Structure 1
Amino acid sequence: MKNVLTPIQMSVVDKNTAYNGIPTLVLMENAGSQIANYIKENYPNHKKISIYVGSGGNGGDGLVVARHLLNYGYKIRLFILFDPRNIKHPDTQLNYAAIEKIAQADGNLKLYKIRDSTQLKPDNSDIIIDAILGTGVRSKLREPISKAVDTINYSPAIVISVDIPTGLNPTDGSTPDKQVIPQTTLTLHKKKTGLIKAQKTYTGDVVVLDIGIPKISELYTGLGDLLKIHKPKPDSHKNQNGSILIIGSNKDYIGAVVFAATAALTQHVDLVYIVVPEKSAPIIKQYNPEFIVRSTPGDTLTDESYDMISDLIEKVDAILIGSGSGVDVRTGKLFNHIIKSVDKPVVIDADALKLVDIENTRNKKVIITPHVHEFMTFTDEKLPDMMDEKIELLQKLSDEYNLTILLKGVVDIITTQKDYKLNNTGNAGMTMGGTGDILAGLTCALVTKTDSLFDAASIAAFIIGYAADKAQKEHGDYYSIDDIFNNIKKIEGI
């Protein structure tokens, strides 16, 4: 697991933790409790504390801190830098409602609802806690937050920031406008990249607090991983949201490219090109008018069509080879030619795993999606039985050939040279024909929608397994391919 996370990676972990049964409200409570304990242990005699809170999750953490410190005997002034009616974070809403009731009954908690910058006065507290923005900053600070930052920085108090100092870019460590300058930053779960890239002058001492996130939230895929999928920009136009090429399906396996292409369209790629032998083309065209079908002469794919295929490759962002292609040696010559010649991402699936020489994939942008037997055929390696030994072997091969490997199994293993992830969605019903083609199509499409081949493969494995699990709950073990597609379309975030 990584010791440093980007803000989006942290959001993925948070959402995966909720997916694994630990609500975000629990994480907020844990964070606030840990921060309060840190202050109690390190500053037992600094009894006057001001907490400046924003309306997001960082502010919610600050509200929990206030509640716990109050119980420890501290006197708390809470500066609310937002209109409570505009709180969008549900956990912050709950904690604000609680703290408002407590303030009415406990004289050691003073609530200040700041609507105007002029309401902020010099602060002579012993400690100031900055729980305003955290990872939410991206540009110029608005009022009254901007004035609050000045108030905090001009104070003689000890300043402690929650997770990220307000105003510091959590990704690159820059300061777009102004920022809180803390003596200490109490960051949650893992250090953020911005804290590593910024000078210590702007972060103070960085202390990592454990807030109870289980390891599986990082090691296994979950709904949080869908946050990595790029959403279309409002002003985007055709061919800016991904285009792919699928090469396969001889006359005996026409359904393979249909399943793969249909899966790709669920990820909202703009264009799906398909190249198949001429005997397959008329049937495939009938399935969906969105398919852009091109045919090659004869009843199998051969290298004689490389020039035509090369022209299509120039138009697309990613390529999938092998879906229903058959294992004719002439097809193998074409596939190896493509791998050696192309500098774009290529997903190698199904029959192509029996035809492509692994040496041709060296230092290319390749994802392979084998099951166990295909893996052994492609790599000439025997898989160990133990999970940790499997991961070690896959990462060794990923490193040697610069491959992204998605090994299908009861638990899918996805590896690159440095990373690995596990996926435990899916069930025995997925042994039906076509599920591998769906996975390959999803993977190819997601290459155009994510920042890495690793993310594309990991998310694809999660999506098809998650949809299949939903289908099994609805229909039992004997669900259909259509049931999987219907559930893919229902997944929020794609």
Structure 2
Amino acid sequence: MAGVDLIVDALLGTGLDRPVSGVFAGAIAAINQSGLPVIAVDIPSGLHADTGTVMETAVKADRTLSFIGLKQGLFTGEAADYGGVIEFAGLEVPEAVYASVPISARLTRKSPWPPRKRCSHKGHYGHVLVIGGNLGYSGAARLAAQAALRTGAGLVSLATRSAHAQVLNMAQPELMCAGVETVEQLAPLLEKASVLAIGPGLAQDEWAKTMLDAALPWQMPMVMDADALNLLAQSPARKDNWVLTPHPGEAARLLAMSSAQVQQDRFAAATALQAQYGGVAVLKGAGTLIKSTGCLAVSCTGNPGMASGGMGDVLTGVIAGLIAQGLDLATAAEQGVYVHGLAADSAAKHGGERGLAAGDLLPWLRHWVNQ
């Protein structure tokens, strides 16, 4: 490509629905090997516009200019490595045209939160009960509880194994950590809570099953994560008062399919999760998806540094903390995912993505919930 300074990719359009092969595959390979800057028109050639799936091969663009409407496939799954900077050009299409077209998905954004009344007290901001931290996994439950605290919950309790309670109380004195081994010991904690967060460090042994079985009949809002989801997959149920937060592997177990099938069409998977289990489904990953009874929402915050243990536990606490403060399930899930990603982006900006730990998000959570 002698004498070429810039490549404009307009090889394949938004209607691509089969694997790229032949001359088009060769052209895409040449573009990717050129080392030249690439601007894609509407969507990088080879990406499925609706799902973001790479159809065998795809152009890796530096920028994508999406006309008239943003293509939902640009914002989740594999597309994160192909679209580059996404820009929108409306081409002066009248607002009346947009108003007549149903929206398939929308990007999340932070909503303004009202300031706290000067006369408020901790009872106004809910009581989160985190259930988890089986033997050897106390850190996961602690992260979830700390995240609920930093997000603004008035009170946060943690029901964990007795062996962990004293150490956790010493490590974070603002948390009320109780050693719980039986349903009878858990019951008083459930009675005091306004929101449950179940699953971080829960495991799948008899203690875990006992705790989950005791919690599920309660009608208060709950956020389900990690092994709570794996146990749910073994005995499926449907409830309208929960937020489920699976990663692709957990979603695959909940839907009785493979992780690859989930990732192949993340929009369909999130929709299926909500349809089957009720409540709100949060399908984590690059471009986390949030599905309630309304339109799908797609997160535009977060970075690859979040690919480390404990990030999901923090998200569980964030969502639970927002519900405790009065947000409905869908809003808490959307805002929680957005703020969780913002905190990770801020932490990465100040130290880099590599080596980012879940606990690094905690001070930034407090920052962003106050903006």
- Structure 1 residue 289 corresponds to structure 2 residue 162: no
Q: Please identify the structure whose Cα radius of gyration is greater.
A: 1
Instruction: Return the alpha-carbon distance in structure 2 between the equivalents of residues 251 and 444 of structure 1.
Output: 23
Which residue does the alignment assign to 1:350? 226
- C-alpha distance in structure 2 between counterparts of 1:226 and 1:358, whole Å: 37
Name the counterpart of 1:309. Answer: 186
The equivalent of 1:337 in structure 2 is: 214
1:406 equivalenced with 2:275 (yes/no): no
Q: Which runs of 5+ in 2 are unaligned?
A: 1-85
Counterpart secondary structure, 1:314: helix
Q: Tell me, yes or no, if the aligned pair for 2:195 and 2:222 is still in contact at 8 Å.
A: yes
Determine if contact 2:245/2:281 at 8 Å carries over to the other structure.
Answer: yes
Letter in 1 for 2:298: L
Aligned equivalents of 1:308, 1:483: Cα separation in 2? 33
Query: 2 CA distance for matches of 1:267 and 1:464?
Result: 10
CA distance in 2, matches of 1:407, 1:376: 11
Where does residue 296 of structure 2 map in the other structure? 420
Look up the match of 1:78: none
Corresponding residue for 1:448? 324
Q: 1:387 to 1:288 in 2, by over 3 A?
A: closer
Alignment of 1:40-59 (within 5 A): none
Aligned partner of 2:201 in structure 1 is: 324
Contact 2:347 2:360 in 1 (8 A): yes
8 A Cα contact 2:144 2:316, kept in partner: yes
Q: Residue 288 of structure 2 aligns to which amino acid in structure 1?
A: D
Q: In the alignment, which residue of structure 1 is the partner of 2:147?
A: 263
Letter of the aligned partner of 2:116 in structure 1? P
**2:76 counterpart residue number:** none
- Rounded Cα–Cα distance in structure 1 between residues aligned with 2:332 and 2:220: 14
Q: Distance in 1 between matches of 2:210 and 2:135?
A: 19
Query: How far is 1:259 from its partner?
Result: 0.9
Conserved 8 A contact 2:308-2:356: no
Q: CA deviation at 1:384?
A: 6.7
In 1, Cα distance between equivalents of 2:233 and 2:211 = 12
**In structure 1, C-alpha distance between the alignment counterparts of 2:204 and 2:274, rounded to whole Å:** 25
Is 1:277 equivalent to 2:161 in the alignment?
A: yes
Match of 1:226 among 111, 131, 137: 111
Residue 381 of structure 1: how far off its partner (Å)? 3.4
Secondary structure of the corresponding residue to residue 116 of structure 2: coil
Secondary structure at the aligned position of 2:348 is classed as: helix
Q: Distance in 2 between matches of 1:386 and 1:336?
A: 27
> Identity across aligned pairs (percent)?
26
Deviation at 1:230, TM superposition (A): 5.3
Aligned counterpart, 1:132: none
Contact 1:383–1:390 (CA under 8 A) maintained in structure 2: no
Maintained 8 Å contact 1:319/1:344: yes
Structure 1: gaps spanning 5 or more residues: 1-19, 23-29, 35-188, 190-207, 298-304
Deviation at 1:493, TM superposition (A): 3.7
Give the direction of change, closer, same or farther, for the CA distance of 1:233–1:289 in structure 2 (3 Å limit). same
CA displacement, residues 335-380 of structure 1 (integer Å, 9 cap, x when unaligned): 03321x1111111111211222575531341111111011112332
- Note the 1:95-494 alignment, pairs <5 A: 219-222=106-109, 225-227=110-112, 229=113, 231-297=115-181, 305-339=182-216, 341-357=217-233, 361-382=237-258, 389-477=265-353, 478-491=355-368, 493=370
Amino acid at match of 2:206: V
CA distance in 2, matches of 1:384, 1:274: 35
Q: For 1:342 and 1:356, how far apart are their aligned partners in 2?
A: 15
Deviations 1:428-482 (A, max 9, x none): 1112221111111001111123442111111111112111112222212233444
Relative to structure 1, the CA distance from residue 264 to residue 451 in structure 2 (aligned partners, 3 Å threshold; closer, same or farther) is: closer
Amino acid at match of 1:421: A
Could you tell me which residue of structure 2 aligns to residue 172 of structure 1?
Answer: none
Amino acid at match of 1:286: M
What TM-score comes out, normalization by structure 1 length?
Answer: 0.51
Letter in 1 for 2:136: D
Q: Is the 8 A contact 2:252 2:262 kept in 1?
A: no
CA distance in 2, matches of 1:275, 1:359: 23
**Amino acid of the structure 1 residue aligned with 2:283:** L
RMSD over aligned Cα, in angstroms?
2.9
2:183–2:210 contact (8 Å) kept in structure 1: no
- Asked if the contact 2:248/2:285 (under 8 Å) is kept, the reply is yes
Tell me the equivalent position of 1:54.
none
* Partner Cα distance (1:479, 1:420) in 2: 29
Opposite residue 221 of structure 1, the aligned amino acid is T
Report the alpha carbon displacement of residue 382 of structure 1 after superposing the two structures with TM: 4.0
**1:5-27 alpha-carbon deviations (Å, 9 max, x no partner):** xxxxxxxxxxxxxxx999xxxxx
Higher mean alpha-carbon deviation, 435-444 vs 328-337, is at: 328-337
* C-alpha distance after superposition, 1:212-256 (max 9, x if no partner): xxx89x71112xx332x4543333333111111001112311211
CA 1:296 to 1:376, structure 2 compared with 1: closer, same or farther past 3 Å? same
Quick check: 1:332–1:356 contact (8 Å CA) kept in 2? no
Distance 2:146 2:291 in 1: 26
- Structure 1 distance, partners of 2:368, 2:192, is 29
CA spacing shift, 1:390–1:482, aligned 2, 3 Å: closer
Give the secondary-structure state (helix, strand or coil) at the position aligned to 1:421.
Answer: strand
Cα distance in 2 for partners of 1:231, 1:440 equals 24
